[in-house]
Amino acid sequence: MGLQDKLNDLLQQGLKQVEESVNLESINDVRVKMLGKKGPITEVLRGMRDLSAEERPKVGQFANEVRDQLTNAIDEQRAKLENAKLNDQLKKEAIDVTLPGNSVAQGQPHVIQQIIDELVDLFIGMGYVVAEGGEVEEDRYNFEMLNLPKDHPARDMQDTFYVTPEILMRTQTSPMQARTLETHDFSKGPLKMVSPGKVYRRDTDDATHSHQFHQVEGLVIGKHITMADLKGTLEVVAQDLFGDELEVRLRPSYFPFTEPSVEADITCFNCHGKGCAVCKYTGWIEVLGAGMTHPNVLKMAGVDPEEYGGFAFGLGPDRFAMLKYGVNDIRDFYQNDVRFLTQFDQKG
């Protein structure tokens, strides 16, 4: 039997063994057995040295064809077996996607942050800019620029946390009013700003007080601004949060940085002015302090009080949240009880 006949027999044997392979191990065995260095094809090719010069190329070409056919057949069979193995594994590890999954709770902004966002959105819609500053502030901006010199008795009401004699945790967001007023270019128009943020005072924590709370303060400075503009602004704020039917009244008060100063009350949203436990049977609820900006505040910021004037106001989102949702203890907002906080769904 010639070499070509032997190679052809080996090709048929190899193809049959490839076809009979049922797993990756057996197909690898066929590859090693038929195409390995010690395989029968290699052994047959060693006899080519006995061939004549004319026969040797023909047999060599046929041997390469045999080797290529077996290699292609082995690769195709291996691909089929690998695919079958993968499909079998997928069937065993299949997940029924029609089954209900584990629900994931969706978070929402804290109720106080919701109130702040609602107020900020309202003021932006009224043309105000938002000015947020650092919670560590200079005494100069926290007190002195707001008409509260170092010996002013009103400082006692805001006794706070000092880092150094001149650096403290801010007691109000009013420092941003002083800073913005100091740099505003009135040749480009009036100043209308609102400053939200956390503030700190050395208060004893109880149902209505906290050493850390939030404020949203506003300032409007320009020409020909009156107390009527202030009241109109406060009415818009109160009605946006508590309802269109509420009225606002102003009572004389005192703040060092405004003159005249007022406390703003709104009609009790619970009894609509008839008197109840929420409003202590007065029909009114105190919500914020305000007033016309003191001339000294303008002077210290380099603004001429003879030419410019305006108003300032400050409100507490914590207190607004207590009033709006009937919460009796401010500490409930900070104790991170999810059962309590999830009651206040984010409004779309």
Per-residue pLDDT of the chain (348 residues; tens, 9 = 90+): 567 777 788 778 888 888 888 888 888 888 888 877 777 777 777 666 666 777 777 777 777 788 888 888 888 888 988 898 888 888 888 777 777 778 887 788 999 999 999 999 999 999 999 999 899 999 999 999 999 888 888 777 777 889 998 999 999 999 999 999 999 999 999 999 999 999 998 888 888 788 889 999 999 999 999 999 999 999 898 888 877 777 889 999 999 999 999 999 888 877 888 888 778 889 988 888 999 999 999 999 999 999 999 999 999 899 888 888 888 888 899 888 888 988 887 654
Residue ending a domain, choose from 61, 93, 125: 93
The answer to whether 110 and 343 are in contact (CB under 8 A) is no
Within this chain, do residues 291 and 216 fall inside the same structural domain, yes or no?
Answer: yes
Same domain, residue pair 262 and 171: yes
The domain that holds 170 is classified in CATH as: 3.30.930.10
Residues 115, 89 share a domain? no
Question: Residue 280: left if φ>0, alpha if ψ -120 to 50, beta else—which one?
Answer: left
Would you state the structure tokens that stand for residue 150, as one six-digit string? 């170092």
Q: Are 15 and 152 contained in the same domain?
A: no
In a domain, 308, yes or no: yes
The domain total for the chain is: 2
- Residue 19 is labelled as binding a ligand: no
Cα separation of 216 and 219, whole Å?
10
Judge if 68 and 128 occupy the same domain: no
Instruction: Give me the pLDDT at residue 106, please.
Output: 79
pLDDT at 348: 40
Residues 183 and 224 reside in one and the same domain: yes
Which of 59, 93, 127 is where one domain is finished?
A: 93
Q: Where does the chain show beta strands of DSSP type E?
A: 129-130, 136-138, 162-164, 167-169, 191-200, 212-222, 248-255, 258-267, 284-293, 309-315
Q: Do 291 and 221 fall within a single domain?
A: yes
Strand partners, 199: 213
Cα(50)–Cα(267) distance, rounded to whole angstroms?
117
Say yes or no: 152 and 293 in one domain. yes
Q: Which range of residues forms the domain containing residue 274?
A: 111-342
What would the two tokens of residue 237 be?
A: 């704020």
Pairing label, strands 136-138, 162-164: unpaired
Q: Is the pTM of this model over 0.75?
A: no
Within this chain, do residues 255 and 292 fall inside the same structural domain, yes or no? yes
Residue 106 inside a domain? The answer is: no
Q: How far apart are CA 46 and CA 25, in angstroms?
A: 28
Residue length of the chain: 348
177 and 288 assigned to the same domain: yes
Residue 78 lies in a domain: yes
Q: What is the pLDDT of residue 346?
A: 64
Single-letter code of the amino acid located at 17: Q
Residue 90 CB contacts under 8 Å (≥ 6 apart), including other chains: none
265 occurs within a structural domain? yes
Same domain, 66 and 140: no
Pair (61, 115) in one structural domain = no
Residue 154 placed within a domain:
yes
Residue whose tokens read 């490839």: 18
Please give, one letter per residue, the 3-state secondary structure of 124-149: HHCCCEECCCCCEEEHHHHCHHHCCC
- Domain membership of residue 100 (yes or no) is no
Is residue 103 a part of any domain in this protein?
Answer: no
From 63, 93, 123, the end of a domain falls on 93
Does residue 289 fall inside a structural domain?
yes
